[in-house]
Amino acid sequence: MKIFLDTANVEEIKMVKDLGVLDGVTTNPSLIAKEKKDFKKTVAEICEVVKGPVSAEVIALDWETMVKEGRELAEISEHIVVKIPFTKDGLKATSILSGEGIDVNVTLIFSANQALLACKAGAAYISPFAGRLDDIGHDGIDVVAQCQAVVDTYDYDTEVIAASIRSTAHMLQCQEIAVDIATIPYKVIEQMMKHPLTDAGIAQFLADWENAVK
């Protein structure tokens, strides 16, 4: 399973890159706004660090401006994936940009039907949001699994990104459903590394070693 970091914070990205576990990055307008830095410069800096797929989202809602913004974003770096929200205009923009060879990540997907349409429009990635579905009493990972089944069953050339991942439990579920990619906040990477038995084991080994060499 590929791991993407869901952040626009360059320091967090560098830290995870150095761990050797980073396959890509996803940003969204909220994450970019949090950094209070220039959008295009930030995205360019992220691409330099990641040297892999970096999703940068369009702001427009009409397809003509989405396409214009998407083309401009794609010029920033070969690593840019243009992120487009799932709407009727978003589908049309996806179809145009993917036809030009630009990778598109269709985001804000909440059903397998939306996933199917995004795959057909040529999306390189689709992002079903698990956490936001959980928030309203649905089983978010179940919907991610349904989206993955669409891609696998019909053999679309699209990768599924489990998005809105909020916990280590979500990550275990992502592995169970064999999703292509999970995009996760830095906090969840830190939580995944921790296990009390690892800490206890190290403490025990060190104590035994010190006793033996005394």
Phi-psi sector, 94: left (phi>0), alpha (psi -120 to 50), beta: alpha
Select 179 or 203, whichever has its Cβ closest to ligand E4P. 179
Total residues contacting ligand E4P by CB under 6 A comes to 12
Nearest distance from C-beta of residue 105 to ligand E4P, angstroms: 7
Q: Is 114 in the site for ligand E4P (CB under 6 A)?
A: no
Give the whole-angstrom CA distance, residue 65 versus residue 192. 40
> Considering only 65-73, 87-95, 128-136, 189-197, which stretch makes contact with ligand E4P by CB under 6 A?
128-136
Q: Which of 2, 40, 92, 132 binds ligand E4P (CB under 6 A)?
A: 132
Report in angstroms how near the CB of residue 165 gets to ligand E4P at its nearest: 6
Catalytic residue flag (residue 83)? yes
Closer of 122 and 185 to ligand E4P (Cβ)? 185
CA 49 to chain centre: 16
Assess contact for 69 and 41: CB atoms under 8 A. Answer: no
9 touches ligand E4P (CB under 6 A): no
Of the candidate residues 114, 164, 188, 189, the single one contacting ligand E4P (CB under 6 A): 164
Helices (H), 51-139: 63-76, 88-99, 112-120, 130-135
Q: Is the dihedral of CA 69, 75, 76, 78 positive or negative?
A: positive
Smallest CA-to-CA distance from 147 within 112, 121, 123, 173 is with 112
Strand partners, 125: 105, 159
User: Judged by CB under 6 A, which of 45, 129, 144, 174 binds ligand E4P?
Assistant: 129
Kindly list the distances between the CA atom of residue 137 and the CA atoms of 113, 115, 130, 132, 173, in Å, as whole numbers in the listed order: 19, 20, 11, 9, 17
Q: Which residue lies nearer to ligand E4P by CB, 21 or 206?
A: 21
Task: By CB under 6 A, name the one of 3, 5, 6, 67 that touches ligand E4P.
Answer: 6
Task: Please identify which of the residues 34, 36, 40, 83 carries the catalytic annotation.
Answer: 83
User: For the purposes of burial, counting CB atoms within 10 Å of the CB of 38, is it exposed (0-12), middle (13-18) or buried (19 or more)?
Assistant: exposed
Give the residues lining the site for ligand E4P (CB under 6 A).
6, 26, 28, 107, 127, 129, 131-132, 163-164, 166, 183
Which are the catalytic amino acids? Answer: 83
